[in-house]
Amino acid sequence: MSVRARRVRSLRILAAVTAALLGDGRVAWGQTAGAAPAVTVETRAIPGRDVKQVNAQGLIEAPPHVVRAVIADLERYPAFMPYVKESRVLGRDASGDMQNYQRLSFGLPFVQDRHYVIRITEREYREPGRGRGWVFVWRLEEGLPSGASASAVRVSVNSGYWDLRPVAGAGSASDVRYCVFTDPAGSLPKWLVGLANTEGIPQLFAAVATAAASSRYASLPAPPEGSPAGERPAVGDCGAVTPSW
């Protein structure tokens, strides 16, 4: 392929990505971007890595236990999570950690689906004077399950967390923190990966907020109190080689 042809192809991919991410502003279930929560997105370079960690924060108008129910409903992700076309719970170990297979499809020319298996750990905590919160941390696992798409590219790096914090004096709202460190592998330019992360995360928050406001989740009661909840875990940087907890 000539240099000119490669440039034209790159420009077409960029145009398609921009249209897919920004488009007409629509997200899951027809909610417009204007109705989505305001989200602050920041990037952080990780020494020795050529992709960046992305951190985001936004206020979702739903109590933490409702947002938790949305995040925990893994097998329904294709119904509301952007780009998720397949999500299967593969198992749960004695500690309660879940193994989850996901396949992402972007609907873009020249861009293959991506897939991976992650291990998800959930922790409940309590903040004095505020109430209960939840953390979901995930790390990439080796291998793929039987029946996984043969044409999809296996993601080489994928770690992150959701931190659903209670808001003082506002039991109906959640201070949501999100961190992701991922490299989708394949031939996508790193700057394009960065664009997809920073532009796509507000869409992700909008999808979660829309789901939390739906009748399926909004009326759910808080889960029963289990063992005494401890302090909020120190999740640290999701791009760290070794998790801090």
Q: What is the pLDDT of residue 111?
A: 82
Q: What is the pLDDT of residue 240?
A: 78
Q: How confident is the model at residue 33 (pLDDT cuts 50, 70, 90)?
A: very low
pLDDT at 140 over 80: yes
Tokens, residue 143: 């291998």
Q: How far apart are CA 12 and CA 110, in angstroms?
A: 9
| Residues 39, 108 contacting (CB under 8 angstroms) | no
Q: How far apart are CA 203 and CA 18, in angstroms?
A: 13
Q: Residues 6 or more apart from 215 whose CB is under 8 A from it?
A: none
| Residues 82, 206 contacting (CB under 8 angstroms) | no
What's the mean pLDDT in 187-215?
A: 81
Q: What is the pLDDT of residue 46?
A: 85
Domain ranges in the chain are 3-218
Lowest mean pLDDT among 116-130, 140-154, 187-201: 187-201
Q: How far apart are CA 141 and CA 213, in angstroms?
A: 32
pLDDT at 73 over 70: yes
**Predicted model pTM:** 0.83
DSSP string spanning 68-113?
A: HHHHH-GGGHHHHSTTEEEEEEEEE-TTS-EEEEEEE----TT---
Q: How far apart are CA 156 and CA 49, in angstroms?
A: 12
Q: Is 3-218 a domain of CATH 1.10.10.10?
A: no
Q: Strand pairing of 170-183 and 52-60? A: antiparallel
Lowest mean pLDDT among 97-101, 125-129, 241-245: 241-245
Higher pLDDT: 245 or 119? It is 119
CA-nearest of 2, 13, 47, 19 to 203 is: 19
What's the mean pLDDT in 71-81?
A: 97
